[in-house]
Amino acid sequence: MSMNGGVEVKRLFIGAGCNRIVNNVSWGACDLVAFGAQNAVAIFCPKTAQILTTLPGHKASVNCTQWLPTKQLERHYLLSGDADGVIILWELCLLDRKWRYVLQVPQSHKKGVTCITGIMVSETEAIFASTSSDCTIHVWEVLFPSTTGGDCKLLCLESLFVGLKPMVALSLAELPGNTGHLVLAMGGLDNKIHLYCGERTGKFLHACELKGHTDWIRSLDFSLPICTKDEAKSILLVSSSQDKGIRIWKLALRSSLGSTQGAYRSEEISLASYIEGPMFVAGPSSYQISLESLLIGHEDWVYSVEWQPPLTASVEGIDYHQPQSILSASMDKTMMVWQPERTSGIWMNVVTVGELSHCALGFYGGHWSPNGDSILAHGYGGSFHLWKNVGVNLDNWQPQKVPSGHFAAVADVAWARSGEYILSVSHDQTSRIFASWKNEASSDGDSWHEIARPQVHGHDINCVTIIRGKGNHRFVSGADEKVARVFEAPFSFLKTLNHATSQSSSFSEDIQVDVQILGANMSALGLSQKPIYLQATHETPYRSGNDGLDSLETIPDAVPAVLTEPPIEDQLAWHTLWPESHKLYGHGNELFSLCCDHEGKLVASSCKAQSAMVAEIWLWQVGSWKAVGHMQSHSLTVTQMEFSHDDNMLLAVSRDRQFSVFTIKRTGNNEVSYQLVARQEAHKRIIWSCSWNPHGHEFATGSRDKTVKIWAVDKGSSVRQLLTLPQFNSSVTALSWFGFGRQGNDGFLAVGMESGLIELWSLSVKRTDDGSIAAAGVATASVVQLDPFMCHVSAVNRLAWKNTKREDSRSMQLASCGADHSVRVFEINVV
């Protein structure tokens, strides 16, 4: 096919987990959720449960995100802070859904940013404050342009040093009484809430401190002013702490110049006004603080509290009304909604939701949707949990689909034999299966979701390979242990896959007859996964999942089920495991790389190594799982291996900067003979990746020296270099070669880099009539550099093309995984 036409790249899917830190998530008025995924700022749409994009800019892990509560409809602004103290301002234009990096706040914190809060003081002016582990708080004024694409102006209003105990929670508000004064509440490691007052022009002074909490303050949030007789007289501040309690404080306008004390006293006196705290003066007004309420209900640290966002009362959207409703999220795995009782005014817990299974280790934060009908939590496992109130007259909070993904670097990714799903493994000690779910009644076609979590392990997982050939779905994974583990798909997964792909192919029906295993249970140590047999479930259908919970050795039984819609976190974490069928013992160190041949007969494995003996490649026979070969060539870790298209050769690349080519011959009685035919020092630095031409004996190698080289194996098994691609801007960490047609002359080479960027190059191999490579060798051209907003934000660890059955297909899919915790799928169309 002609390679001269244009190439169009479309992002199909991003899967990523949320950084496990407080204040990392923010749900904006534009109805998009921002969160940090390693050093990327990820944006997801709660309606579709899809991550839309990741914003590149931070060099360190993102700690906090905060949408500014803009009332503009065209442009929305987002702040993000990272572990190096850097804060970045982003702009989203809603008309074309385009993101823009606006600026980096110039005076960065010396340590990680822990909290950002902001308010709009006019249509085009915002004030925001940030706090950090360096015990400082910066207050900034930002002026937005009146036209799209204009420059934002930034002014530092104040820098406060708060002593040796850092503040970890902030909230800003305008004081009632229209005096143009602001109040900044902060709380942290000294168990007190400190209030600072200042004008919009800056200079914030310490006004008072509020005592009551007995442990660290974790979250603060001001309400909008509460109006009585059309006058704003007070605002409420809600605080939460590691003492498991929530407190509501009232800041009431006591007097201003021109008014008398008597007027204040003649108002109706509530019980709360007797629990009076300190007074403070801001400009012409003085304010009385009192403890309005103490909310007790959580059984562990309360990490976040948030007032329900204001609702627009008028059609024009000018008047705002804020419901008296607070959402709290805790490490006790629950979120609660608190509201005052209508008659007595006493604050009560009206809604409790939570993943009450043993696997959801608590929530780091909870957030309201802009219209208040949904609540979102993010949890210890990097997961999101969303509930929506679907009741008409009565509250009925039901779990909803959310995006999911790994919460640590993703080390390897592989396509299923027929391309129905991708399997990824990560240093978060899980393997996950993502697939396009076909039968959703959505207008925008298929959407991708995590449909299974086959392995939940006790070690970081470094590599995976899916067994090709006939039979059931199987994979081999290698973790930071000396054993490779073989897994086989259970009956429940095969049925779920049928629902996802909305086809019951005879191929899978045949397999299902033989599969006697429904699912798998986790062992107490989290290493081996034991099968649950179909017969056993028929015999004891009503066995309680809580049997034996009192002893440490047992954990609740999984309940594998056929999923007819994409699962939520609770189902994934526990009920979609695959049984482990074999362990492969032999390596002396932690597993590092795995690959399988195209026939599904052999698996090659390598481990971390610093000597030639340990660096040997082991060959395993699929089925019997016997070791049938130990191939020695390298002196350091073999970083990647791949079998040639005809399975006659195995290519390996290593940290010792060399590649090796072995010939593999299979004899009749299932024995394997192999021979090292070529070894060459190919690059000046570590070789991270290699890839064969899918239809020829040419291969590519990519290295830390920022180069990609193309090589050919000649008839006499000698290897010669065909060319070197122009030097890249970053280390090359991943390669994958895609071939068009059986002739093997034309193809794409996907190149992934340490910077996270991905490029596509066209490769056209010139052959003579006898099939050997012509003197001209290979013609190359750079086809496309993927948009940075589409690419990874940290190193690309693996690239993998989907196997296409149609030779003339002009549409291809490329999967990638990276150190930014994300798995991505791109669609490449040759126009």
Q: Give per-residue pLDDT as tens, 615-627.
A: 999 999 998 999 9
Task: Classify burial at 262, counting beta carbons within 10 Å of its beta carbon; exposed 0-12, middle 13-18, buried 19 or more.
Answer: exposed
Residue 30's Cα: distance from chain center in Å?
A: 21
Q: Retrieve residue 278's tokens.
A: 């300190």
> Does residue 562 have a pLDDT over 60?
yes
d(CA 816, CA 792): 9
Q: Residues 534, 518: contact at Cβ < 8 Å?
A: yes
Closest CA to 606 of 623, 627, 625, 589: 589
pLDDT computed for residue 461 by the predictor: 95
> Does residue 267 have a pLDDT over 60?
no
d(CA 525, CA 518): 22
Of all helices (H) and strands (E), which one includes residue 535?
helix 534-539
Q: Retrieve residue 333's tokens.
A: 């795995």
CA dihedral angle for residue 45, residue 46, residue 49, residue 52, rounded to 10 degrees: 10
Percent of the chain exceeding pLDDT 90 equals 57
Please write the tens of the pLDDT for every residue from 715-762. 777 889 999 999 999 999 999 999 886 665 788 999 999 999 999 999
Please write the tens of the pLDDT for every residue from 121-135. 888 889 999 999 999
Q: CA neighbours within 13 Å on the CB side: how many for 337? A: 22
Q: DSSP label at 273? A: G
Q: How far is CA 717 from CA 421, 682, 710, in A?
A: 36, 17, 16
Are β-strands 483-488 and 580-585 bridged in parallel, bridged antiparallel, or unpaired? antiparallel
Tokens 């599904």 map to which residue? Answer: 600
Rounded to 5°, the CA angle 662-668-674 comes to 15
pLDDT computed for residue 773 by the predictor: 66
Task: Classify burial at 767, counting beta carbons within 10 Å of its beta carbon; exposed 0-12, middle 13-18, buried 19 or more.
Answer: middle
- Detail the DSSP E strand segments found in 211-355: 217-222, 226-228, 231-241, 245-256, 276-282, 285-296, 302-307, 311-312, 320-321, 326-330, 334-340, 347-354
Closest CA to 124 of 148, 100, 107: 148
d(CA 804, CA 418): 8
- End-to-end CA gap in the chain: 11
Q: Residues 127, 121: contact at Cβ < 8 Å?
A: yes
Rounded to 5°, the CA angle 464-470-474 comes to 30
pLDDT-derived band at 566 (thresholds 50, 70, 90) equals: confident
pLDDT computed for residue 129 by the predictor: 94
Tokens 């919460």 map to which residue? Answer: 407
d(CA 116, CA 131): 7
- Detail the DSSP E strand segments found in 575-616: 580-585, 591-596, 602-607
Residue 110's Cα: distance from chain center in Å?
A: 26
> Does residue 425 have a pLDDT over 50?
yes
> Does residue 443 have a pLDDT over 50?
no
Q: Cβ atoms within 10 A of the Cβ of 47, count? A: 13
> Does residue 265 have a pLDDT over 60?
no
Stronger pLDDT, 512 or 11, i.e. the higher one: 11
Q: Retrieve residue 152's tokens.
A: 């934002």
Task: Calculate Rg over the CA atoms of the chain.
Answer: 30
> Does residue 764 have a pLDDT over 90?
no
Please write the tens of the pLDDT for every residue from 179-203. 688 999 999 999 999 999 988 887 8
List Cβ neighbours of 144 (8 Å cut-off, separation of 6 or more): 70, 75, 77, 124, 125, 126, 152
Q: What is the DSSP string of 160-196?
A: EE--SS-EEEEEEEEPTTT-SEEEEEEEETTS-EEEE
> Does residue 154 have a pLDDT over 80?
yes
> Does residue 683 have a pLDDT over 90?
yes
Q: Retrieve residue 753's tokens.
A: 């880099």
Mean pLDDT calculated for residue range 552-562: 63
| Exposure string over 415-425, b if 16+ CB within 10 A, otherwise e | bbbebbbbbbb
pLDDT computed for residue 463 by the predictor: 95
Q: Retrieve residue 64's tokens.
A: 């906090």
> Does residue 286 have a pLDDT over 80?
yes
> Does residue 334 have a pLDDT over 80?
yes
Q: Residues 616, 631: contact at Cβ < 8 Å?
A: yes
pLDDT-derived band at 772 (thresholds 50, 70, 90) equals: low
Q: Retrieve residue 435's tokens.
A: 């697939």
681 strand-pairing partners: 658
673 strand-pairing partners: 665
Tokens 């007789």 map to which residue? Answer: 229
Residue type (1 letter), 53: T
List Cβ neighbours of 61 (8 Å cut-off, separation of 6 or more): 19, 36, 38, 39, 82, 83
pLDDT computed for residue 481 by the predictor: 92
pLDDT-derived band at 779 (thresholds 50, 70, 90) equals: confident
Q: Retrieve residue 786's tokens.
A: 């993927």
Q: DSSP label at 275? A: S
Q: What's the mean pLDDT when you consider all of the chain?
A: 85
pLDDT-derived band at 380 (thresholds 50, 70, 90) equals: confident
pLDDT-derived band at 140 (thresholds 50, 70, 90) equals: very high
Rounded to 5°, the CA angle 44-792-105 comes to 75
pLDDT-derived band at 692 (thresholds 50, 70, 90) equals: very high
Stronger pLDDT, 7 or 360, i.e. the higher one: 7
Residue 86's Cα: distance from chain center in Å?
A: 20
List Cβ neighbours of 603 (8 Å cut-off, separation of 6 or more): 465, 467, 476, 484, 594, 595, 596, 597, 619, 620, 622
d(CA 819, CA 354): 30
> Does residue 237 have a pLDDT over 80?
yes
Q: What is the pTM of this model?
A: 0.90
Closest CA to 45 of 82, 14, 8: 14
> Does residue 775 have a pLDDT over 50?
yes
Q: Retrieve residue 811's tokens.
A: 């549409």
Percent of the chain exceeding pLDDT 70 equals 85
Mean pLDDT calculated for residue range 587-604: 94
Backbone angles phi, psi at 123, to 5 degrees: -60, -35
Angle, nearest 10°, between helix axes 491-501 and 506-514? Answer: 170
pLDDT-derived band at 97 (thresholds 50, 70, 90) equals: confident
Residue 560's Cα: distance from chain center in Å?
A: 25
Q: Cβ atoms within 10 A of the Cβ of 486, count? A: 20
pLDDT computed for residue 518 by the predictor: 75
Backbone angles phi, psi at 355, to 5 degrees: -85, 95
Please write the tens of the pLDDT for every residue from 36-87. 999 999 999 999 999 999 999 999 999 999 999 877 668 899 999 999 999 9
List Cβ neighbours of 509 (8 Å cut-off, separation of 6 or more): none
Specify the 3-state DSSP secondary structure of 588.
Answer: coil
Length of the chain: 831
> Does residue 536 have a pLDDT over 60?
no
Q: Residues 511, 621: contact at Cβ < 8 Å?
A: no
Please write the tens of the pLDDT for every residue from 464-474. 999 998 888 99
